[in-house]
């Protein structure tokens, strides 16, 4: 069993840490998409995620090198006023060039920090998660979903397709599709896209051990779209990955509906993560009419 690193000691997030980290995150019943072991593990190379324990709190540190470090919010019992201040003070020691901060904090923590005048709290709109009613994404009823239903109906008229549960037999084809997607968008010229490509490969390769659910769309036996997700809390699933052949734009609407219908039909809501401030992605996510946006906040020490 992995030994517990105790703050201020940290260790990199590894697959063997899942048995320790996953139960703590599950017990917290997070609303924000970052707080799954899958997210930490698949993005560990890009963000340099490390973890530690301080008393009853799980600590997640993103250490991208000397130029940048930040914490996710401490995971554990309330009140977290003291531990929040400890983490920010620790980051700010030694005149470091980065800004000491906690990122992607949820409303639950912000409520606990009420009255802390030494802290600056700012909403981060680019990180807000889009949360949808799954029944709406499956049924697409009403005028507001008219265009989505038209896209799917057009796809059905033009193609004979099948939806299949993701298995090891499809992993290689999914990786090839993602590679084509990345080549088309010149991922090698964009650090964030390269980070997404690496995270995607990790999630696909280890999807069984991460206990992820997934699905693929097949056209003539060929994988043309795929997706991966899991339960975020008892009422909400979360989609970590969704990719499709860019030559058929309707595929995204199809894989979205099919995944919800086949895998999450008994779950009330689904979190489809943030838009990262990209205008096209924001427009696409808003076009599905989210039930609400799950707010996230940046916490810093006031100067």
Is 224 in the same domain as 102? Answer: no
> Is residue 67 over pLDDT 60?
no
Q: Would 286 be classed as within a structural domain?
A: no
Handedness of CA 276, 301, 26, 15 (dihedral sign): positive
Domain end point (choices 85, 110, 126) = 126
Q: What pLDDT was estimated at residue 174?
A: 97
Is 162 in the same domain as 264? Answer: yes
Share of the chain above pLDDT 90, in %: 87
Q: Would 293 be classed as within a structural domain?
A: no
Q: What pLDDT was estimated at residue 95?
A: 59
Average pLDDT of the residues in 35-54: 97
Indicate the average pLDDT of the chain. Answer: 94
Is 39 in the same domain as 171? Answer: no
- Tally of structural domains, the chain: 2
Q: Would 285 be classed as within a structural domain?
A: no
Q: Which domain holds residue 233?
A: 129-273
Average pLDDT of the residues in 8-36: 97
Average pLDDT of the residues in 17-23: 97
Q: Would 5 be classed as within a structural domain?
A: no
Is 177 in the same domain as 268? Answer: yes
Q: Would 236 be classed as within a structural domain?
A: yes
Q: What pLDDT was estimated at residue 191?
A: 78
Domain end point (choices 109, 126, 143) = 126
Is 158 in the same domain as 199? Answer: yes
Q: Would 283 be classed as within a structural domain?
A: no
pLDDT band for position 35 (cuts 50, 70, 90): very high
The domain that contains 164 carries what CATH number? 3.40.630.30
Q: What pLDDT was estimated at residue 258?
A: 98
Average pLDDT of the residues in 267-272: 98
Prediction pTM value: 0.95
Is 145 in the same domain as 195? Answer: yes
Q: Which residue has the higher pLDDT, 68 or 225?
A: 225
Q: Would 2 be classed as within a structural domain?
A: no
Domain end point (choices 108, 126, 144) = 126
pLDDT, tens digit, for every residue of 170-187?
Answer: 999 999 999 988 887 777
Is 86 in the same domain as 37? Answer: yes
Is 119 in the same domain as 247? Answer: no
Is 30 in the same domain as 49? Answer: yes
Is 155 in the same domain as 259? Answer: yes
Q: Would 302 be classed as within a structural domain?
A: no
> Is residue 193 over pLDDT 80?
no
pLDDT, tens digit, for every residue of 128-140?
Answer: 999 999 999 999 9
Is 118 in the same domain as 208? Answer: no
> Is residue 97 over pLDDT 60?
no
Share of the chain above pLDDT 70, in %: 96
Is 211 in the same domain as 117? Answer: no
> Is residue 65 over pLDDT 70?
no
């Amino acid at each position: 069993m992995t030994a517990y690193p105790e703050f201020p000691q940290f260790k990199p997030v590894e697959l063997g840490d899942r048995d320790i980290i996953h139960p703590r995150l599950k017990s917290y019943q997070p609303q924000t998409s970052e707080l799954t072991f899958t997210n930490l593990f698949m993005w560990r190379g890009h963000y340099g995620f490390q973890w530690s324990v301080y008393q009853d709190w799980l600590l997640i540190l993103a250490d991208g090198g000397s130029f940048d470090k930040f914490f996710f919010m401490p995971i554990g019992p309330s009140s977290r006023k003291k531990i929040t201040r400890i983490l920010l003070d620790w980051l700010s020691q030694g005149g470091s060039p980065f800004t000491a901060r906690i990122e992607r904090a949820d409303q639950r923590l912000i409520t606990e920090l009420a009255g802390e005048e030494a802290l600056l709290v700012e909403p981060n709109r680019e990180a807000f998660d889009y949360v949808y009613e799954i029944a709406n994404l499956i049924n697409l009823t009403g005028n507001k979903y008219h265009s989505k239903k038209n896209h799917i109906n057009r796809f059905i008229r033009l193609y004979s397709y099948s939806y299949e549960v993701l298995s090891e037999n499809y992993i290689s084809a999914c990786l090839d599709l993602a590679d084509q997607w990345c080549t088309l968008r010149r991922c090698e010229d964009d650090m964030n896209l390269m980070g997404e490509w690496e995270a995607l490969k990790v999630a696909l390769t280890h999807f069984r051990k991460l206990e992820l659910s997934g699905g693929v769309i097949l056209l003539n036996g060929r994988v043309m779209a795929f997706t991966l997700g899991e339960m975020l809390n008892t009422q909400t699933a979360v989609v970590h990955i969704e990719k499709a052949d860019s030559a058929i734009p309707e595929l995204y609407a199809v894989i979205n509906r099919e995944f919800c219908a086949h895998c999450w039909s008994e779950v009330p809501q689904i979190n489809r993560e943030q838009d990262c401030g990209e205008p096209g992605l924001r427009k696409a996510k808003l076009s599905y009419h989210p039930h609400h946006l799950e707010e996230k906040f940046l916490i810093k020490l006031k100067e």
